[in-house]
Amino acid sequence: MGNLKRAAALLLVLVICFSFGACGKQGTVQPDKPKADTIVITDMMGREVEVPADTKNTTVASTYGVVTPFLSTLQIPDRVLAANFKNKQFFRLCEDPIINTGNIGTTVNLDSEALAATNPDVYICKISDQEKIDIATRLGIPAVTLSAEIPEEVLKAYEMLGKLLGCEERAQAIIDYLKGELADIDDLAAKIPEEDKVTAICMGSLLSRVAGEDMLQTMMIERVGGKSVVKGIVGEEERYWADCGVEKVFELDPDYIFVTSSAVLDYSMDDFYTDSSWSGMTAVKNRDVYQIPAKLDSWDMPGPGFILGMYYMMHCMYPDVCTAEMLQTEVNDYYNFFYGKTFTGEEIGYEF
């Protein structure tokens, strides 16, 4: 075994040389920040987090896909150091400079060292993501959690981000706009006579999976005047998809079937019509199966887009109350307000 010992000695020498040669200073590193004043904000888990007081200059990084539209709509692209884009094409069309920002990971995977190299003032992640909060804390970067699963949370998220990033005015404008839209929707929904109300359900990424009683999509259905059929059906976790089984869906037999756009589907929209087991369903017979538009910007994802999702659902279920022109106007208004642009139906992925 003398040969092996010699090989081992050689390996030792190589390792030592390598460590002194190869890992010199490569790339640039953000210099240390001077100790600054801090303020305390409450994040959406209820944690009290110390963040820089100079909020108008606070830089931020995130790997949570949901956060990106929020940051984009607040129009602070130079302060976003890294973000995770679910759909880059949309932001490209919007010509939002945020598209040029860095990437330090995905919703599931955070590249800890890239976070360190980026060195933002604040790191934003999903609520209950203890592992990422832990890593940011270990690096000395305050972690702020965000959740936007239901309309109330979306408003709260904007409020929190406004305070965090010193853009309270823009945030308030958005909150007012969304509140206004919700008020409009409530007014419209009030016009629907009780006897005309229809039932609807929202399907998830599997044919056996539906939006439960406490999920965004179900709330959307109910708010626009639809009748939810999933009372008592909830997912394993709070605000989570319910795996109730295909047969349960058959049993519930809603008038309208919506399909989510917030996840990758395990089936195609045609399956409802080609699969004979679905042919007995009311919604299939009346061809009232709709996928919520998702080509560019998801309308039933956590985020401000749910407003459009609601208008869309109302239009599908009550085309007299929410006409096609109305929907088009609202869509254009929305994108104008947030991004100063409008898109064609083809770009967004809907047609009337």
Partner 1 sequence: MATNSKKNFYAVGFDLLLLAILAGCIVMALCSGKYPITPKESLDVLFGELFHKGGSYSEMTKNVVMGLRIPRITASILCGVMLAMSGVAYQSIFKNPLISPDFLGVSNGACIGAAIAILMGLGGIYLSGFAFLGGILAVSITVLIPTILKSESNIMLVLSGVIVGGAMSSILGFIKYVADPETELAAITYWTMGSFSYVTMSEIKSVILTMVIPMIILFGMSWWLDILSMGESEAKSLGANIKLIRNVAIACATLMTASSVCISGTIGWIGLVIPHFARMCVGPNNTKLIPTAGLMGGIFLLLVDTITRTISMAEMPVSILTGLIGAPFYAVLLYRQRKTIS
Contact residues for partner 1, defined by CB under 8 A: 1, 4-5, 8-9, 11-12, 15-16, 18-20, 23-27, 29-33, 103, 105-106, 108-109, 111-114, 116-117, 119, 130-131, 134-135, 138-140, 205, 236-237, 240-241, 263
Least separation, in Å, of the C-beta of 6 and partner 1? 10
Least separation, in Å, of the C-beta of 317 and partner 1? 28
Which pair of tokens denotes residue 37? 């004043």
Q: Which is nearer to partner 1, 187 or 237 (CB)?
A: 237
Taking the C-alpha atoms of residue 74 and residue 329, their distance in angstroms, rounded to an integer, is 23
Taking the C-alpha atoms of residue 320 and residue 318, their distance in angstroms, rounded to an integer, is 5
Q: Which is nearer to partner 1, 15 or 269 (CB)?
A: 15
Least separation, in Å, of the C-beta of 45 and partner 1? 14
Least separation, in Å, of the C-beta of 20 and partner 1? 6
How many helical (H) and strand (E) elements, i.e. helices and strands, does the chain have?
A: 14, 12
Least separation, in Å, of the C-beta of 104 and partner 1? 8
CB-based burial, 290-319: b 16+ in 10 Å, e otherwise: bbbbbbbbbbbbbbbbbbbbbbbbbbbbbe
Least separation, in Å, of the C-beta of 34 and partner 1? 10
Length of the chain, in residues: 352
Q: Phi and psi of 11, rounded to 5°?
A: -60, -40
Q: Which is nearer to partner 1, 196 or 238 (CB)?
A: 238
Q: At a CB cut-off of 8 Å and minimum separation 6, what does 85 contact?
A: 65, 68, 91, 99, 103
Q: At a CB cut-off of 8 Å and minimum separation 6, what does 188 contact?
A: 224, 225, 314, 321, 322
**C-alpha dihedral sign at 301, 302, 305, 310:** positive
Taking the C-alpha atoms of residue 61 and residue 22, their distance in angstroms, rounded to an integer, is 29
Q: At a CB cut-off of 8 Å and minimum separation 6, what does 68 contact?
A: 62, 83, 84, 85, 86, 91, 98
Least separation, in Å, of the C-beta of 41 and partner 1? 22
Taking the C-alpha atoms of residue 313 and residue 223, their distance in angstroms, rounded to an integer, is 10
Q: Which is nearer to partner 1, 111 or 184 (CB)?
A: 111
Q: Which is nearer to partner 1, 100 or 172 (CB)?
A: 100
Q: Which is nearer to partner 1, 135 or 283 (CB)?
A: 135
Q: Which is nearer to partner 1, 199 or 262 (CB)?
A: 262
Q: Which is nearer to partner 1, 34 or 193 (CB)?
A: 34
Which pair of tokens denotes residue 205? 């990424």
Least separation, in Å, of the C-beta of 109 and partner 1? 6
Least separation, in Å, of the C-beta of 52 and partner 1? 14
Q: Which is nearer to partner 1, 240 or 337 (CB)?
A: 240
Q: H-helix or E-strand containing 144?
A: strand 143-146
